[in-house]
Structure 1
Amino acid sequence: MNSPKHSLRSVACIGEVMVELSPEAPECFKAGVAGDTFNTAVYLARELKNNSVKVSYVTALGADLFSDRILAEIKQHGLATDHIERRPDRMPGLYAIHTNGSGERSFSYWRETAAARTLFSEPCEVELDRMSSFDLVFLSGITMAILPPPVRKAVIDWAEGFRNAGGTLVYDNNYRARLWEDIATAREINSAMWSLANIALPSLEDEMELFGDVDRMAVVDRLHDAGATRGILKCGADGPLDLSTGLEIKVPPREGPVIDSTAAGDSFNAGFLASHIAGHSDILSAKAGHALAAYVIGFPGAIVPSRD
């Protein structure tokens, strides 16, 4: 396969952005805007704010007031919106965050008829082939899970051509069992994406849950067998692991309590990619990702105040 382009000046993050309900006080939730690849796009744009790289968000929204608010938020975060589909017969999804005493989160979702599920489905204005104009494309297992099976296949076929043409494909499986028809389908699609990703950014817990690996080295071995030989295995507080070597990357312990682990992996992805785009090594990029994630989990919700 051809080598990725050396100069990365345009990035597309593809997926679903939803209305987020996060706990603000007992019996009180705050409404925000979030979603896994959207969170990565927001933090990536922040990290690249003094760079000339254009970060676009690619999704489908409705024509309702909630969709208008989401679109305004996307623009407010400095993301390009010229690859966003509007579907007048659909609305965005919604989810609520629940956190326990240690900051670990769980979610409740209302997204079965979300507009994002129609992305790249005909009739559409934002066609899949338009993604080939970007230097780097990032998507996740959630992106793949919400798409109809024929569109998933089209994405896989497109991804192979994109990589062969020198594009950089980045993938995080972000496994959510309830989004998939069955575990066999989830394994098949994710294995196909690992085989195509130039950079793999999996999370240890997701991989072990989906594939039943006994430990992180078993995860690394399986990913290598699938073709994912470059990237970072995110291992939470234990720190990241370099996929190419299987070695642990030393990171300082986090100071202070974990308030909310929502978007920990998403922000890690952003920190890693910003450093990668700046030309740094995977090790330094992993440290940058870990540092950003450590900051983000000190606040409630997915999108937190800027570090500046």
Structure 2
Amino acid sequence: MRVACIGEAMVELSLEGPAADRARLGYAGDVLNTAVYLKRAAPELQVDFVTRLGRDGFSDRMRAFIAGEGVGTGAIETDPDRRPGLYAIETDAEGERSFTYWRDSSAARAMFQTGDGPDFSALEDYDVVYLSGITLAILPKPVRSAFCAWLERRQRDDGGIAFDSNYRPALWPDQETARGAAGRMWKACTIGLPSLDDEMALFGDADEAAAVDRLARYGFTGALKRGARGPVSLGAPDPDDPAYLQMPVAPAPEDFPPARQVVDTTAAGDSFNGGYLGALLTGKSQDEALRAGHAMASRVVGAKGAIIPR
């Protein structure tokens, strides 16, 4: 099976503590994080990262890092005039993180753009494409609209689409635009991986039950992430399909034990997505996929940075 993970890769500066004046250099981005953890969870899958980078030293190092994780780089476009974006992470004593970004002119914002208009043909041969709300947010409006239309056609042709809304208000011109794009994708995707806090902030759901009810109506299979409380199963699985075993709406706490320690919550949701997709796309049950995602996220929050050492 071939999986394309479409998004922005950035240079990551991770400060070593609340009062640190030194930082560790890394490479990350929400979809790249998921691609790496998906490949670690399911080495038998072909996982490719789809983005646009420059011809600078940081772009070269990033390509080498991605390839070193076993993630394919053949679909990465090259832009001679742009560079990767940059962000810095600061964490407090409880491991909660805050970010500062420099990404307005990143190469990834020019993905799929040619002199003849948007071109998504490089994605045609993949069994599953994975993207996030951040992927959509960084694209210019005409390209984003064309991409959503391409994904809708893909769904009608029974192509696999996995989506995480990953709502970041600063990337969108307004909430209405973000809500429209996310809603369009929830209707088009076949695997949905929303987070409760993002969905409530974006769609104004009154509570968790309202969010679950709304998401269930879209018809995709997936998981609603709730942090340390564990995920809620979404969708209406076919009881005759062993790949989907429906979980109760309110799983028992012992089903998803919290992380032993929380050092840095960066990429908690992204790593859940990688673990979950790795299990689901290799034929595991929904129950096993939920547990695999939660276990992966629990390990990741116990170390600094978005992509922890293997």
TM range (shorter): over 0.9
Cα separation, 1, equivalents of 2:117 and 2:83: 17
| Unaligned residue ranges in structure 1 (runs of 5+) | 1-8
Q: Which residue of 1 aligns with 2:26?
A: 32
Cα separation, 2, equivalents of 1:139 and 1:36: 9
Matches within 5 A, 1:268-287: 268-287=272-291
Give, as a single letter, the amino acid of the residue that structure 2 aligns with 1:35.
G
Greater CA drift, 142-151 or 236-245: 236-245
Quote the offset at 1:41 in angstroms. Answer: 0.4
User: Under a length normalisation based on structure 1, what TM-score does the superposition of the two structures give?
Assistant: 0.92
* CA deviations over 1:50-80 (Å, ceiling 9, x no partner): x2x2110000001111111111111111111
Identity %: 48
RMSD: 1.6
Asked whether 1:91 is paired with 2:83, we answer: yes
| Unaligned residue ranges in structure 2 (runs of 5+) | 237-247
Matches within 5 A, 1:103-252: 103-123=95-115, 127-225=119-217, 227-244=218-235, 247-250=249-252, 251-252=255-256
Give, as a single letter, the amino acid of the residue that structure 2 aligns with 1:189.
A
Cα separation, 1, equivalents of 2:219 and 2:10: 30
Q: Which residue of 2 aligns with 1:289?
A: 293
Give, as a single letter, the amino acid of the residue that structure 1 aligns with 2:129.
V
1:234 and 1:265 in contact (8 A); partners too: yes
Stretches of 4+ aligned residues off by more than 4 angstroms: none
Give, as a single letter, the amino acid of the residue that structure 1 aligns with 2:260.
G
1:262 and 1:302 in contact (8 A); partners too: yes
Give, as a single letter, the amino acid of the residue that structure 2 aligns with 1:45.
K
Q: Which residue of 1 aligns with 2:242?
A: none
Does the residue aligned with 2:114 lie in a helix, a strand or coil? coil
Cα separation, 2, equivalents of 1:274 and 1:249: 21
Quote the offset at 1:228 in angstroms. Answer: 4.2
1:85 and 1:125 in contact (8 A); partners too: no
1:272 and 1:285 in contact (8 A); partners too: yes
User: Under a length normalisation based on structure 2, what TM-score does the superposition of the two structures give?
Assistant: 0.92
Aligned residue pairs: how many? 295
Q: Which residue of 2 aligns with 1:43?
A: 37
**Cα 1:170–1:255 shift into 2, 3 Å:** closer
